[in-house]
Amino acid sequence: MPAKRLKEFLDSHNIKYVTISHSRAFTAQETATSAHIPGKELAKTVVVKMDGKMAMAVLPASSKVDFDLLKKVTGSSKIEIASEKEFKDIFPECEVGAMPPFGNLYGMEVFVAKTLTEDREIAFNAGSHRELVKLAYKDFEQLVKPKVITFSVERK
């Protein structure tokens, strides 16, 4: 079952979604393979510190964050990946590293890679390393109101 906070939020907004169970996977690419979802449709959540403030960078599993580009487009002077130790308490109902890209539920700003907006549907970790939620991208955008910017590059 998806993280309680996420499930209640989606249900309270009458959002249509499906949950997808898969074998335990820890990297976004492993998860995409395990769940039989194209890497470009699996949204991975990277928790970053932007000038010391936690934020979410959400991008396709098949891509990686270009930190120089993210710094440039956000006007931040320093951006780094937050350590699991730094963010694990923010997501108490989630397994470490399996938080959903709903920063609005956790008081975090959300930045979405422009390439992800090209997908009709996206899937993402729902709080565990064994389950995904899949929904229409437009519903995600309406609920989260992320800042859509260009900050990712395809993995080679």
What are 52-86's pLDDT values in tens digits? 999 999 999 989 999 999 999 999 999 999 999 99
> What is the pLDDT, as a whole number, of residue 97?
87
Beta bridge partners, 136, equal 121
Q: Domains, the chain, ranges and CATH?
A: 4-154 (3.90.960.10)
Quick check: 113 pLDDT over 90? yes
pLDDT, tens digit, 9 for 90 and up, residues 3-16 = 888 999 999 999 99
pLDDT confidence bin for 138, thresholds 50/70/90: very high
63 vs 103: CA distance, rounded Å: 20
Q: Which residues contact 86 (CB under 8 A, 6 or more apart)?
A: 47, 49, 54
Lowest mean pLDDT among 23-32, 51-60, 85-94, 108-117: 23-32
Say whether 131 sits in a helix, a strand or coil.
Answer: strand
Helix (H) or strand (E) run with residue 146 in it: none
pLDDT at 1: 62
Model confidence, pTM:
0.92
- State the DSSP string of 46-107: EEEEETTEEEEEEEETTEEE-HHHHHHHHT-S-EEEPPHHHHGGG-TTS-TT---S-GGGTT
User: What whole-number distance in Å separates Cα of residue 21 and Cα of residue 130?
Assistant: 6
